[in-house]
Amino acid sequence: MRKLFLSHDILMSIDKPARYIGGEFNSVNKNKEDVDIRFCMCFPDVYEIGMSHLGIQILYSMFNSFEDTWCERVYSPWPDLDKIMRDKNIPLFSLESQDPIKEFDFLGITLQYEMCYTNILQVLELSQIPIYSKDRTNEDPIVIGGGPCSYNPEPIADFFDIFYIGEGETKYRELLDLYKVCRKDNYSREEFLYKASMIDGIYVPSLIGVEYNDDRTIKAFVPLKEGVRTSVRKEVETDLNNTFYPTKPIIPFIKATQDRITLEIMRGCPRGCRFCQAGQLYRPIRTRDLDVLKEMARNMIENSGYEELNLSSLSSSDYPELKELINYLIDYCNEKRVNISLPSLRIDAFSLDAMGKVQDIKKSSLTFAPEAGSQRLRNIINKGLTEEQILEGAKLAFLGGWNKVKLYFMLGLPFEEDSDVVAIAELCESIAKLYYETIPKEERKQRVSITASTSFFIPKPFTPFQWAKQFSLEDFRDKAYLTRKSIMEQLNQRSIKYNWHDTDVSVLEGVLARGDRRLSKVIYDAYKNGAIYDAWNDYFKYDTWLNAFKNNDIEISFYTTRERNIDEIFPWDIIDIGVTKEYLKKEWLKAKEGEITLNCMLKCNGCGAAKYGSGKFCFKDQEKQ
């Protein structure tokens, strides 16, 4: 019987003790005496969120397929256990073996969103690992960061030994083999990190210095040791048909946020929306073959017992064999009594027919993401969606029996004017009016329900809008008030509900997204003064963050409301994602003129990602840069 690290008394005194006991179905247990490397994967948020993350499940499956490696997991303790661990000096431990994290060779932390940065420091401190990488010794684990936020690792660079840039399936085996050799030959921690920096996709921030101009912008990246590269290219898995995938997913004891099977059908997106970071980071577009997906779905259903299957990708409607896949899954899942959760599909006759087969239309709603209310602004952001297409999709939905529509918009997009904000309300009104024009009065069971939700635009690295200024806190609030006022002025306002996100978090996220190394002290000070679980409204302490910026003499506006010079060196320029900066510049200038760019399926625009040689639509009538 496994011995639990926490005592019975502690487990009975905290919320959801199942978060910390491990032993879940399909989790992997090995004899630690039989392996050479112990690797602990961390999602720096609560268990229910982390257990929903596909990336960790993929790497967990891959690492544990290696005979010489045992991969385990750890998540951020909830505040109730956090306090007990500090009061009693209890070190953070893994779920599988229940051993302290500080005894592992590697601690790999996935960086999914900027608002988890203080939780990273929580995990390090509770693990009794020095927070700053410069203070670690040969006795401490190698701390590795990966995931979307590693594409601008600079704000947290001082806390990590290594950043793995790109998809983990390609270079981790080489890194683990190097570690084994270095340990056998008694190399120091610093010698291992230097050798690791020579592996493609591996960034060791301690080997790179940063010089600044008088205006506080970056002057240059400087290698601190001979042979260290100042450009690290992301790693891409080029063959999704023959790579690691968790066909035996871990089944949590308590309900996870995404309590279902996830079937990843493709990576990348051909749409080219100028605000979307993921659409650039995960180029080129790669798909899985239909037969491979069928087999994966069957295996996961048999091996998990889940009652719901979800299709995953950035742009599922663009998967070439989507119709065949959905038709197969509908038949197979009905036989197995498994529900299908369809992603946001392009609203057309086929999609509505498929959704009608898998959803209870009396309870469901359809989702549209116009992102902007006016066609002018949709062209600026290259959304590739016209008002005619939105209305035609809504009409098809109403005729198909739906009467609930969700619409997602962003406020504060580059070059946005008040008329663009008012257009959000006008589009909602047009859809509501369309319902009453389309459905005869005697066939209406209730009034149409339209929910408009707005989030605040945050410029992200490696997008055409990385040069854009972010609106201020006051501007964001003014735009939200204008949206609400405009909706209340519509004829069908009773059919329209409006939701908007908090502004404080958006401003801080904007700072951290485009920040540099000078922010590490701010993050550290905010954490030490109580900032933690910043992604959770109940725990977010904006004043604590404001004090940390003030005490470190750092202006928030430098990172947010300042529009960047077209030739400015960015903190993330040390990373090469395949998509070139020249291409992003071209898209930024086209946005200023309101010009659209065709998506990858229609024309290769020469973004640069074709260099990986695996893009589904690369080289199609390629346009020279």
| pLDDT tens-digit map of 172-191 | 999 999 999 999 999 999 99
Tokens of 374: 């006016």
Q: What pLDDT sits at residue 565?
A: 95
Question: Residue 29 pLDDT more than 90?
Answer: yes
Q: Is residue 551 a contact partner of residue 526, using CB atoms and an 8 Å limit?
A: no
Q: Any idea of the CA torsion for 485, 487, 490, 493, to the nearest 10 degrees?
A: -120
Q: Which domains does the chain have, with CATH numbers?
A: 8-233 (3.40.50.280), 260-356+591-625 (3.30.750.210)
Ranking 159-173, 355-369, 528-542 by mean pLDDT, the lowest is 355-369
Quote the CA–CA distance of 580 and 603 in Å, as a whole number: 17
CA triple 309-315-316, angle to 5 deg = 40
The H-or-E segment that residue 251 falls in is none
Sheet order of strands, 339-341 included = 261-264, 308-312, 339-341
Split at pLDDT 50, 70, 90, the class of 622 is low
Q: What pLDDT sits at residue 624?
A: 47
CA distance between the termini of the chain: 63
pLDDT in tens, 443-485: 998 899 999 999 999 999 999 999 999 999 999 999 999 999 9
CA triple 538-368-473, angle to 5 deg = 40
- E-strand stretches of 437-519: 449-456, 496-500
Quote the CA–CA distance of 509 and 115 in Å, as a whole number: 7
Q: What pLDDT sits at residue 345?
A: 76
Q: Is residue 616 a contact partner of residue 591, using CB atoms and an 8 Å limit?
A: no
Q: What percent of the chain shows pLDDT beyond 90?
A: 88
Ranking 128-132, 341-345, 483-487 by mean pLDDT, the lowest is 341-345
Q: What pLDDT sits at residue 364?
A: 66
Question: Alpha helix locations (H) across 68-135?
Answer: 79-88, 117-126
Mean pLDDT of 318-326: 92
Nearest to 20 by CA among 38, 1, 2: 2
pLDDT in tens, 554-584: 999 999 999 899 999 999 999 999 999 999 9
**Residue listed under structure tokens 């605040």:** 456
pLDDT in tens, 251-267: 999 999 988 999 999 99
Nearest to 456 by CA among 493, 422, 503, 496: 503
User: Does the bond joining 270 to the residue before it have cis omega, within 30 degrees of 0?
Assistant: no
133 contact partners, CB below 8 Å, separation of at least 6: 143, 158, 159, 160, 161, 205, 206
Phi, psi angles (nearest 5°) of residue 569: -85, 125
Instruction: Please give the DSSP secondary-structure letter assigned to residue 97.
Output: S
Tokens of 306: 């889940």
Question: Residue 625 pLDDT more than 50?
Answer: no
Strands 339-341 and 308-312: parallel
- Choice between 541 and 614, residue whose per-residue pLDDT is larger: 541
Tokens of 140: 């401490």
Split at pLDDT 50, 70, 90, the class of 623 is low
- Averaged pLDDT of the chain: 94
Q: Is 625 exposed, middle or buried (0-12, 13-18, 19+ CB in 10 A)?
A: exposed
Tokens of 231: 């450009």
**Residue listed under structure tokens 């009061």:** 87
Provide the 3-class DSSP secondary structure of residue 73: strand
Quote the CA–CA distance of 184 and 280 in Å, as a whole number: 40
Mean pLDDT of 358-379: 82
Q: What pLDDT sits at residue 366?
A: 82
Quote the CA–CA distance of 102 and 130 in Å, as a whole number: 10
